[in-house]
């Protein structure tokens, strides 16, 4: 029987974290290509350090997307994040673009042919997860870690709290009783600040009201332990303080460690890459299973081979909370949605330029948007799953 009383911790990082700067730039490149050509192929990696950004990878798309244009959209992403410091400034940092054509040997496996559907862009395993801990059907620790940083970014960008810098990290430890989240035992926040004279106590006084409003009422008590800027001054932030790379925050991007992860990153990849699209599909299906009240918790694993359209396996684990047979549900999921790369992209509208907005504050637990953004958060399969599952 699963433990009912325990502590669990998840972390998040802000849009100004060095790795998230890189995720943002890589996804801005994906959106640039998909805007011009919905069937474009992109595998883009970004490295950022003091006053330097390097963008590398492979693409297939219109020639009008030049190196100069890629440099421009990277600068616009850095500007929107808010970097105008001596060691990393959107206007003056050096940007090198090393994108080349997609490998013909990869393309031949992925492209559709006369007697062949479009294949997966790579082999791999992908997981999706949902649970009843929050209204968003997400684990509480990661959801509230994201909410804290997103709120601090809002007040920083609005000018309400201009002393904060773009780089920040949060960590929330949640206490579970009877298997349900009931409170927060510790808060960790490290946030960049512009004024070097601020102490950790000063920073806590600034951020505490926004943290409190980001959490459920009553979850913070006098027993909650706070660690705000525990190392002291945090003025040098972003890629000037620490180098960043695309794809290094895969647990932050998903479920905060509360569910398995297949190991593949999302950012910088077009939706033929099942690392991204199948992970979105797995979340979509798991969320609909829980929303349909077929289980309190649901984990789904999908697996693929490069060049092969259909998944090699579909696995469902309801963690002992289900009201239907898991093997029957595995078949039902294939019936309600095509799990080929083309089927996923079509069902979830993934060929749209919707990815730059996913690069920070989590790919899951967000509100679906009219243009297809976060379409994998819809719960429009509920009736079909209830019917098939009986």
Q: What is the DSSP string of 80-100?
A: HHT-EETTEETTTSEEEEEEE
Cα-based torsion angle of the residue sequence 153, 155, 160, 165 in order, rounded to the nearest 10 degrees: -20
Tokens 């100069």 locate to 68
Predicted local confidence at residue 155, as pLDDT? 98
Number of Cβ within a 10 Å radius of residue 233: 15
Predicted confidence at residue 121, as pLDDT, reads: 79
Which of 39, 58, 325, 330 is catalytic? The answer is 58
User: Cα 297 from chain centroid?
Assistant: 20
Residues in the chain: 390
Contacts of 204 (CB under 8 A, 6+ apart): 226, 228, 229
From 15, 23, 45, 270, the catalytic residue: 45
Is 15 in the active site? no
Check if 79 is active-site: no
> 193 a known binding residue?
no
Residue 222 is among the residues annotated as catalytic for this protein:
no
pLDDT at 75 over 80: yes
Percent over 70 (pLDDT), the chain: 96
For residues 88 and 270, the answer to whether their CB atoms sit within 8 Å is: no
pLDDT beyond 80 at 2:
no
**How many Cα atoms sit within 13 Å of 203 on the Cβ side?**
28
**58 annotated ligand-binding residue:** yes
Q: Is 127 a catalytic residue?
A: no
Asked if residue 293 lies in contact with residue 132, where contact means CB atoms within 8 angstroms, the answer is: no
Q: Is 204 annotated as a binding residue?
A: no
Give yes or no for a contact between 166 and 15, defined as CB atoms under 8 angstroms apart.
Answer: yes
pLDDT digits (tens, 9 = 90+) for 78-94: 999 999 999 999 999 99
Convert the pLDDT of each residue in 22-39 to its tens digit: 999 999 999 999 999 999
pLDDT bin (cut points 50, 70, 90) of residue 105 is low
pLDDT at 104 over 60: no
Question: Do the annotations mark residue 84 as ligand-binding?
Answer: no
Of 24, 146, 269, 283, the catalytic one is 269
Distances (CA, A) of 142 to 13, 35, 98: 11, 31, 34
- Establish whether 169 is a catalytic residue: yes
pLDDT one-digit tens code per residue, 300-314: 999 999 989 999 999
> Is 169 annotated among the ligand-binding residues?
yes
Of 15, 19, 23, 377, the active-site residue reads 19
- Is 68 marked within a binding site? no
- Does residue 249 carry a catalytic annotation? yes
Would residue 325 show up in a list of annotated catalytic residues for this protein? no
Contact 235, 192 (CB under 8 A): yes
Q: Residue 382's pLDDT band (boundaries 50, 70, 90)?
A: very high
- Average pLDDT of 95-109? 75
Say if residue 180 carries a ligand binding annotation. no
Predicted confidence band of residue 19 (pLDDT cuts 50, 70, 90): very high
Kindly tell me if the per-residue pLDDT of 109 is higher than 60: no
CA distance 72 to 370: 27
**For the residues 355-376, what does the mean pLDDT come to?**
97
Give the tens place of pLDDT for each residue, 151-197: 999 999 999 999 999 999 999 999 999 999 999 999 999 999 999 99
Query: pLDDT digit string (tens) for 113-148?
Result: 555 567 787 899 999 999 999 999 999 999 999 999
Is residue 157 annotated as part of the catalytic site, yes or no?
Answer: no
pLDDT per position as a tens digit, 338-365: 999 999 999 999 999 999 999 999 999 9
C-alpha angle 124/132/143, rounded to 5°?
Answer: 70
Is the Cβ–Cβ distance between 350 and 334 less than 8 Å? no
Between CA 196 and CA 274 the distance in angstroms is: 45
Residue 110: predicted pLDDT:
63
Residue 157 annotated as lining a ligand binding site: no
User: Cα–Cα distance between 70 and 58 in angstroms, integer?
Assistant: 13
Name the catalytic one among 75, 156, 193, 249: 249
| Residue among 374, 265, 356 at smallest CA distance from 25 | 356
Give me the catalytic one of 8, 234, 266, 364: 234
Is 269 catalytic? The answer is: yes
Q: Could you tell me the domains of the chain?
A: 6-12+140-236 (3.30.300.10), 18-110 (3.30.300.10), 124-132+258-389 (3.30.300.10)
Catalytic residue (choose from 17, 24, 41, 347): 17
The pTM (predicted TM-score) of the whole model is 0.95
Is 248 known to be catalytic?
yes
């Amino acid at each position: 029987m699963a433990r009912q009383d325990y502590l669990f911790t998840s972390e998040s990082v802000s849009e100004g974290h060095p790795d998230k700067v890189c995720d943002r730039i890589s996804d801005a490149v994906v959106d640039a290509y998909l805007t011009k050509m919905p069937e474009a192929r992109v595998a883009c990696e970004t490295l950022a350090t003091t006053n330097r950004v390097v963008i590398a990878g492979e693409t297939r798309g219109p020639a009008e997307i030049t190196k100069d244009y890629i440099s421009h959209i990277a600068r616009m992403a850095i500007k929107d994040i808010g970097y105008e410091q001596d060691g990393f400034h959107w206007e003056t940092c050096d940007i090198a673009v090393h994108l080349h054509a997609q490998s013909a040997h990869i393309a031949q496996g992925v492209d559709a042919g006369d007697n062949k559907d479009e294949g997966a862009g790579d082999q791999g395993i992908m997981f999706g997860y949902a649970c009843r801990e929050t209204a968003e059907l997400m684990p509480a620790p990661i959801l509230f870690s994201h909410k804290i940083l997103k709120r601090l970014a809002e007040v920083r960008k609005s000018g309400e709290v201009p002393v904060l810098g773009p780089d920040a990290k949060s960590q929330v430890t949640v206490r579970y009783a009877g298997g349900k989240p009931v409170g927060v035992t510790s808060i960790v926040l490290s946030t960049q600040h512009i004024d070097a004279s601020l102490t950790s106590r000063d920073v806590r006084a600034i951020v505490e009201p926004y943290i409190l409003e980001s959490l459920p009422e009553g979850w913070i008590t006098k027993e909650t332990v706070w660690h705000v800027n525990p190392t002291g001054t945090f003025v040098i932030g972003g890629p000037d303080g620490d180098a960043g790379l695309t794809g290094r925050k895969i647990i932050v991007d998903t479920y905060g460690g509360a569910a398995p992860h297949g190991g593949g990153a999302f950012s910088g990849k077009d939706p033929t890459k099942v690392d991204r699209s199948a992970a979105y599909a797995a979340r979509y299906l798991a969320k609909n299973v829980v929303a349909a009240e077929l289980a309190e918790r649901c984990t789904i694993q999908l697996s693929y081979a490069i060049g092969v359209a259909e998944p090699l396996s579909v696995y469902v684990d309801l963690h002992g909370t289900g009201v239907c047979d898991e093997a029957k549900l595995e078949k039902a999921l294939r019936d309600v949605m095509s799990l080929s790369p083309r089927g996923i992209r079509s069902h979830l509208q993934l060929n749209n330029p919707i990815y730059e907005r996913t690069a920070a504050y989590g790919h899951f637990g967000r509100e679906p948007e009219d243009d297809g953004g976060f379409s994998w958060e819809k719960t429009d399969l509920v009736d079909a799953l209830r019917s098939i599952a009986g």
